[in-house]
Structure 1
Amino acid sequence: MPSAISAPKELLQHFRQTLPHAELLPTTLPDVPDISLWLVNPAIMDARLSEETIAAVFDKPAYWSFCWASGQAMAAMILEQAELVRDKVIVDFGTGSGIVAIAALMAGAKTVYASDLDEGALLSVQANAELNGFAHDDRLIINRDCFGLADASVDLVMAADVLYDWENKPLLEKFRRCFKKTLIADSRVKNFSEPGYEAIAVKRSVTFPDLGEFEEFKTVNFYQSL
């Protein structure tokens, strides 16, 4: 995508509540080059931030302005194995930038619910859908609460990078209660052995822009519900 285009005004305004002088750039992803996202300009990571800005980053992190390793790896898996989502109703839980939802649309999903509680994430999904040619695609539904869909015909819920906070662990059982099938991608939890889930794959990926994370966080593990 050409870097000359500007980020959508509403998204940029929201982003600058946290990082007042930072830019969002249309960024092609190394593991899924067919997808581009509005991501933070990596130059900001070399800049000296004020104490006020640092406090804002911790208080209201714009996590959706990065493409996390597990999300990129899950998007790559979807594009490699389109049968996972083709003609199915999908929930992308904790959608963030929307990369998994966009990959599901590309792979022929029937309906994709991009679900997140964060206002910035919802704006980000809309902007990134437009960036990738899905601005007016009726298959994409952006919402806050996917669990209201539990009685609908959801075929698969996909969740990438939701276990960074182990307080989210109860979601694993909730997914199994509410949906037919669950696919988890995670690079943080070691020795994952949750009842009702099995390990199915491993991929290497990296958060983008690169945060210089330890090598151990570049290994993404996939688990599916039994």
Structure 2
Amino acid sequence: MPVLVPRSSSELADALQQALGQLLPDARLQPTALPAQGGTPASDLALWLIDPANMQRPFDAEETRRILHEPPYWCFCWASGLALARWLHAHPEQVRGKRVLDFGAGSGIAGIAAAHAGAAEVIACDLDPLALAACRANAALNGVALGESSDFFTAPAQVDVLLAADVLYDRENLPLLDAFVARADHVIVADSRVRDFRHARYRRTAVLDACTWPDLGEPDEFRHVSLYESTRA
């Protein structure tokens, strides 16, 4: 189904297209409706994502080097972010009327879902300027507004809910779990990579099925997303 693109969103996506073109000259962004799986829709959300046709050919050595040096992760909707968006659509009371921080926002999918679910304020936090640009374009595409921060440690000191999807792929990020609970009354972490997740302040509350979109053909084990929650007493 075609996605109606507001002019402002299209204009914001132009800079992203230029950046993507520097990595892969023939790659194109397109507004993409997110898939429903298992009867659980993603609240009719759409994102500017890489055209899957651009992923069907082998990359040469120089393209591979550029992708590894500056991975355009913001032009994919990763499995954990999609699963978390669906979770918030099904459980809007988790964020309704609350101040929310989307850590490692990437495309902004989790924060946009929170805004759709009725959050009073959503702040997208990411170190990558292109990721924040993607958040702006995707927020406009979905008719919501997001605040921005490029530094977690200078972002608002306290929020009601902190969302983090697909940020534990690097095990050096595990200490952030302590920083999350110090900053938010409620933390929801979505992850499909860590199999030995152990933390005294978190408990696993759900296991959801999702895949990265466009589909990268990842192993089945990465299509099972665990939600871990910590709630301040």
The alignment's TM-score, normalised by the length of structure 2, stands at 0.90
Number of residue equivalences: 221
Quick one: which of 142, 151, 156 aligns to 1:145? 151
**Residue number in structure 2 paired with 1:185:** 190
For 2:167 and 2:108, the matched residues in 1 are separated by 14
1:72 maps to which residue? 82
Identify which of 168, 185, 195 aligns with 2:200: 195
Q: Is the 8 A contact 1:64 1:120 kept in 2?
A: yes
The corresponding residue for 1:161 is 166
Q: Deviations over 1:87-107 (max 9, x none)?
A: 000000000001111111111
> CA separation in 2, counterparts of 1:4 and 1:179?
35
CA distance in 1, matches of 2:135, 2:61: 29
Give the corresponding residue for 1:13.
Answer: 18
Of 106-115 and 33-42, deviating more is: 33-42
| Distance in structure 1 (CA, Å) of the matches to 2:56 and 2:43 | 25
What secondary structure is seen at the aligned counterpart in 1 of 2:23? coil
Gaps of 5+ in 2: 37-41
Answer whether contact 1:68 1:206 (CA < 8 A) is retained. Answer: yes
Q: Deviation per CA, 1:128-156: give whole Å up to 9, x if none.
A: 1111122xx3xx2022123324534x101
- Per the normalisation by structure 1, the TM-score is 0.92
Partner of 1:61: 71
Would you say 1:91 and 2:101 are equivalent positions?
Answer: yes
How far has the Cα of 1:4 moved from its partner?
Answer: 8.8
Aligned counterparts, 1:211-222, within 5 A: 211-222=216-227
Q: Give 1:27's aligned residue.
A: 32
Q: Which structure 1 residue ranges, 5 or more long, are not aligned?
A: none
Q: For 1:61, what is the secondary structure of its paired residue?
A: coil
2:178 maps to which of 173, 194, 205: 173
Deviation readout 1:14-49 (Å, 9 max, x if unpaired): 222222220001111113150000001111111232
- Counterpart of 2:154 in 1: which secondary structure? helix
Does the 8 Å contact 1:26/1:37 carry over to 2?
yes
DSSP-derived class of the 2:205 partner: strand
The 3-state SS of whatever aligns with 1:200 is strand
Amino acid at match of 2:106: G
SS of the residue aligned with 2:84?
Answer: helix
Take 2:168 and 2:217, find their aligned partners in 1: how far apart are those partners?
Answer: 20
**What one-letter code is carried by the residue in structure 1 that aligns with 2:208?**
K
| Higher mean C-alpha displacement, 57-66 vs 172-181 | 172-181
Return the letter of the residue paired with 2:210.
S
Does 2:2 correspond to 1:2? Answer: yes
- Retained in 2: the 8 A contact 1:113–1:146? no
Q: Tell me if structure 2 keeps the 8 A contact 1:11–1:124.
A: yes
Distance 1:171 1:51, change over 3 A: same
SS of residue paired to 1:2: coil
Asked whether the 8 Å contact 2:149–2:155 carries over to 1, the reply is no
Distance 1:163 1:34 in 2: 27
Asked if the contact 2:43–2:89 (Cα under 8 Å) also holds between the matched residues in 1, the reply is no
Deviates more, 1:47-56 or 1:76-85: 47-56
2:39 equivalent in structure 1? none
Matched AA of 2:2? P
Indicate the SS of the match to 1:193: coil
- State how far apart, in whole Å, the 1-side matches of 2:60 and 2:48 are: 24
Q: Is the 2:92–2:117 contact (alpha carbons within 8 Å) kept by the matching residues of 1?
A: yes
